[in-house]
A and B are shown apart, each in its own frame.
Chain A
Amino acid sequence: MAEFSVIGERLPRVDAREKVTGKAKYAADYSLPDMLWCKLLRSPYPHARILSIDTSRAASLPGVKAVVTGNDFGGWTWGWMRPTRDEPPLAVDKVRYMAEAVAGVAAIDEDVAEEACELIKVDYEELPGVFDPEEAMKDGAPKVHDYVENNISVEYHWDFGDVDKAFAESYVVREDRFRTSRATHGYLEPPATLAYYDPSGHITVWAAKQSPYFHYRHLAACFKLPLSRVRVVQPFIGGGFGGTKNDSLAGDFCAVLLSKMTERPVKYVESMEEELVTSRRRHSMIVYSRMGVDKEGRFTAIHHRVIADGGGYTAVGPLSMYLAGFMTTLPYNLPNFKYDAYRVFTNNPIGAAMRGHGVIHTRFAAEIQMDMIAEELGMDPVEVRMRNAIENPKPGAPYETINKVALKTCGMKECIEKAAEDPLWRDRAKTHGEAGDISWGVGLSSTSYLGGARQRGHQACAAIVRICEDGTVNLITGATDCGQGSDTVLCMIAAEELGVKLENVDIKRVDTAYTPVDPGSYGSRVTILAGQATQKAARQAKKQLLEAAAKTWQVEPEDVEIRQGKVSVLSDPEKAMPFGRLARIACYSGTGAVILGTGYSSYGVEPLDLDSGIGNGGTSYSFTAQTAKVGVDVETGKITVSDFVIASDCGRLLCPIAAEGQIEGGAIQGMGQTLYEDFIMDRGKTLNPTFLDYRMPVSTDVPSMRLIDVVTDDPDGPFGAKEASEGSIVSTPPAVVSAIHDATGVWFKELPVTPEKVVGALREKKNES
């Protein structure tokens, strides 16, 4: 008999039918009788003092029911950590980035609300702005927040081992400057909420949030209500990828306040242009990387000095900078490491979290620099990686990095070997070179990513499994599926543990009035943490069922087995019944029993140490090796990606279709940021605020992808699972850039590698030679 009945099967998503029929409701699909519409007025300046706001003309426009400005929030500000609560719901005394919201209107329809916004008169005193993080750090630069010197929003200085000594003793030391693009999530569902503050003092919102419990806390704090009176109901979420949908937005706060003022429900749907100019996007980071190796190409030391464009507020920036540092000691042995991180306020939109959070910047720098050094030494890219990669630790003997990140499983070497065995890499000499105007090349990269992210403060993660008397199961968690497939994974875990079919498990989406508190979807935490909670809850419910069966049959509970919806006695196979009957017996025993299992996650509870960078940021770590083949048109600079081979150690794959979808989707999102995606900014203004001009990959851009599974069985994960959704977005940029180098002989150190940059670099190369 197979080890598992449900886990590892190619089962379809539990929400697929609702989604393919158009029945799945997203935030903007909800409406209530008597509902008003909210629109926001946004700043036309990136940095300006607000001298006065006159809302009288807007307020008297027929159809307008209420108008709010920053002062109506009573000075309340919020942020990711207590010391960084620097952001008001609406700008109060000054605006710090272009299109920051300054006022909100509730009106009978969207058109009237929009018209009213135009009637609000704001007197601004324009202030000198600062748009480049390195300029912003200089003495005398305009201050974004008056109390912050040199615009330093977050600063870390970590020092492990002795980098100076190591560099002095190194055979080769390189220094390079890298820069990552201004990229955004690019989900198709713009942020939206439907809010009702009922006169009895309860808030209910249906909001597009991938972390509904963050929003619940923000609303309770902002409106000074107990948490028990704030209800966030999670609809289907049209993509998240971190950042914007983790947080609360001006429109969220305004919709609630306007509802409180009008005693009517208020709906807010952001336009895609508003989203693209204000999204809490990935930071653009400058990485000064110094890397040393010995004669054999083994790392001696890395020193990273990272400067991130933080935009106007801190948001989740302390975590972004932590993530950009603590994982530099993976996936290779690194004896000495120094990290100086600066997140800098500018008058650009806010830098925050996005898939591959933090790690993507420094991994890109380190992978490319490693290849540059290997080239200098005449070493093969596979060889240099295999010499440095961390071995898979033996069970019970975890590997520990110099900053005390502990690995219990590591499939890095196997991933590199498998990716290198594929014909794409093995036969690259045959496909390399020019064919007409196209020059072909193949590149390789390796990476690690954390799963089951820890965080400071609230880490609670629980699940409830309720057995219904007909044998079906309700699974209640605080986890949010924003598209990645976690609802399906959690149902599969419950079904496997209970011994029932997947179709008999029904997961409830988050409703903060009923579901257990949870940080939501970020840091690849749901499968590992909510998965473990679900596993424990299912085991507890099952124990009660086994006891009921044992009592019925007068046997010991250990003698009863439940598998694929059938209950039987191991020692007496004659004794058997369907799961539904056992559920009925158990639920109707006495005057009616409640068969409820509860469980909570025990992984990842030690708090993050942001200031020292010591310890684990995740529960476990995935490993990815990727090869990419590109064709570069040497005339036009256009780059075509024809193939990706991605070997991933995601632990055990619980739901293969979902895991593959995550790996493929992450790789294509990473490809977009490597080749095209970038906000073009001119003094704080976004010049390409549309999908057409921002340029995400379309169906005709995507390469053929081959995925290879490297299965490790991590002890800290349900059924041995690790993360599967962020490794490939980190491994793609260096794989593609190293392939471009193979095709052109040029190392590109700034993303994205646009045709313009390619043509320029090729011209320069030609002039030099």
Chain B
Amino acid sequence: MKQVRLTVNGTLYELGVQPWETLLEVIRDRLGLTGTKEGCGLGECGACTVIMDGETVNSCLVLAVEADGSQITTIEGLADGDRLHPIQEAFIENGGLQCGFCTPGMIMSAKALLDENPNPSEGEIRRGIAGNLCRCTGYTKIIESITSAAKKMGAK
């Protein structure tokens, strides 16, 4: 057991974790934040994407001990109370989701992209989410959602 301090969605957690426990396991099983999904568990599908210290990570590939001292944002940390984040609104309005299983990770990748590059080209959006698989949408409406979110956020 090792003690770690994680700030997840603004709340500080101090936990004892096993050396082999992943950040994904801590988020889902210990903190009960099941919005972050486990798809492949191998860092290939992006369903478990969270933002760690400003960068997206596949949380299934990060050990909890490596995340010690980090600031982490998960899908649950995006909305401000009942007020959705503009990216979430844009996904709803543009039909950027179907089964919804890739959606939390996809939205976190979109958030990291727009934080870094508020006005991305279509090619930059495609590359920004290239690590997130989606089997339902064919990506078109996801790309439209992120384009629309960028506009919305720029206008604010």
A690→B76 contact, CB < 8 A:
no
Which of A697-712 touch B at CB < 8 Å?
A: 697-700, 702, 705
Q: Which residues of B contact A239 (CB under 8 A)?
A: 98-99, 101, 135-136
Q: Which residues of A contact B39 (CB under 8 A)?
A: 188-190, 272
A244 and B131 alpha carbons, distance in the complex (Å)? 25
Known: A22-B104, A187-B99, A239-B101. A664 touches B35 (CB 8 A): no
A12→B93 contact, CB < 8 A:
yes
B126→A691 contact, CB < 8 A:
no
The closest CB in chain B to the CB of A189 belongs to B101
Which of A8-50 touch B at CB < 8 Å?
A: 12-13, 15-26, 28-29
Known: A12-B95, A272-B42. A699 touches B100 (CB 8 A): no
B37→A26 contact, CB < 8 A:
yes
A204 and B118 alpha carbons, distance in the complex (Å)? 48
Q: Which of B37, B88, B138 contacts A669 (CB 8 A)?
A: B138
Q: Which of A12, A21, A24, A702 contacts B138 (CB 8 A)?
A: A702
Cβ of B12 under 8 Å from chain A: no
Cβ of B36 under 8 Å from chain A: yes
Q: Which residues of A contact B37 (CB under 8 A)?
A: 26, 188-189, 238
Q: Which residues of B contact A113 (CB under 8 A)?
A: none
The closest CB in chain A to the CB of B89 belongs to A20
Known: A22-B74, A699-B126. A17 touches B84 (CB 8 A): yes
Cβ of A435 under 8 Å from chain B: no
Q: Which residues of B contact A485 (CB under 8 A)?
A: 98
Interface size class on chain B is 35 or more
Per DSSP, chain A at the interface is loop
Distance to closest chain A CB from B125 (angstroms)? 8
Distance to closest chain B CB from A661 (angstroms)? 5
A658 and B141 alpha carbons, distance in the complex (Å)? 10
Q: Which residues of B contact A738 (CB under 8 A)?
A: none
B135→A187 contact, CB < 8 A:
yes
Cβ of B140 under 8 Å from chain A: yes
Instruction: Report which residue of B33, B79, B137 has the largest number of chain A beta carbons within 10 angstroms of its beta carbon.
Output: B137
Known: A238-B101, A661-B98, A669-B138. A20 touches B41 (CB 8 A): no
Q: Mark B76-96, 1 if CB is under 8 A from A, else 0.
A: 101100001000100111110
Which of A481-511 touch B at CB < 8 Å?
A: 482-485
Known: A21-B75, A22-B76, A26-B101. A188 touches B107 (CB 8 A): no
Known: A13-B92, A22-B36, A667-B138. A238 touches B132 (CB 8 A): no
Q: Which residues of A contact B130 (CB under 8 A)?
A: 698-700
Cβ of B47 under 8 Å from chain A: yes
Known: A669-B135, A692-B44. A20 touches B91 (CB 8 A): yes
B133→A696 contact, CB < 8 A:
yes
A236→B45 contact, CB < 8 A:
no
Known: A21-B79, A690-B42, A698-B133. A188 touches B95 (CB 8 A): no
Distance to closest chain A CB from B43 (angstroms)? 9
Cβ of B65 under 8 Å from chain A: no
A38 and B64 alpha carbons, distance in the complex (Å)? 24
Which of B50-87 touch A at CB < 8 Å?
A: 74-76, 78-79, 84
A238→B99 contact, CB < 8 A:
yes
Distance to closest chain A CB from B112 (angstroms)? 15
Q: Which residues of B contact A669 (CB under 8 A)?
A: 135, 138
B99→A22 contact, CB < 8 A:
no
The closest CB in chain A to the CB of B36 belongs to A22
Known: A20-B84, A21-B84. A690 touches B40 (CB 8 A): yes
Q: Which residues of B contact A238 (CB under 8 A)?
A: 37, 99-101
Q: Which residues of B contact A630 (CB under 8 A)?
A: none
Cβ of A531 under 8 Å from chain B: no
Q: Which residues of A contact B36 (CB under 8 A)?
A: 22
Which of A145-192 touch B at CB < 8 Å?
A: 185-190
Known: A28-B38, A188-B45, A189-B37. A19 touches B136 (CB 8 A): no
A12→B136 contact, CB < 8 A:
no
Known: A20-B84, A22-B35. A660 touches B44 (CB 8 A): no
The closest CB in chain B to the CB of A24 belongs to B100
A263 and B74 alpha carbons, distance in the complex (Å)? 35
A29 and B37 alpha carbons, distance in the complex (Å)? 9
Cβ of A271 under 8 Å from chain B: yes
A188→B47 contact, CB < 8 A:
yes
Q: Mark B24-36, 1 if CB is under 8 A from A, else 0.
A: 0000100001111
B135→A186 contact, CB < 8 A:
yes
Q: Which residues of A contact B38 (CB under 8 A)?
A: 28, 269
The closest CB in chain B to the CB of A111 belongs to B20
A20→B103 contact, CB < 8 A:
yes
A26 and B40 alpha carbons, distance in the complex (Å)? 15
A187→B42 contact, CB < 8 A:
no
Q: Which residues of B contact A402 (CB under 8 A)?
A: none
Q: Which residues of A contact B103 (CB under 8 A)?
A: 19-20
Distance to closest chain A CB from B129 (angstroms)? 5
A658→B95 contact, CB < 8 A:
yes
Q: Which residues of A contact B75 (CB under 8 A)?
A: 20-22
Distance to closest chain B CB from A695 (angstroms)? 10
Q: Which residues of A contact B143 (CB under 8 A)?
A: 699
B97→A21 contact, CB < 8 A:
no
Distance to closest chain B CB from A136 (angstroms)? 31
The closest CB in chain A to the CB of B109 belongs to A699
A-B contact pairs, 6 of them (CB 8 A): A22-B104, A29-B34, A189-B101, A665-B98, A696-B135, A698-B139
- Given A19-B103, A661-B138, 17 more A-B residue pairs with CB atoms under 8 Å apart are A16-B92, A20-B91, A20-B103, A20-B107, A28-B38, A188-B45, A236-B100, A238-B101, A239-B101, A272-B40, A484-B136, A658-B95, A660-B141, A664-B137, A690-B40, A699-B134, A702-B138
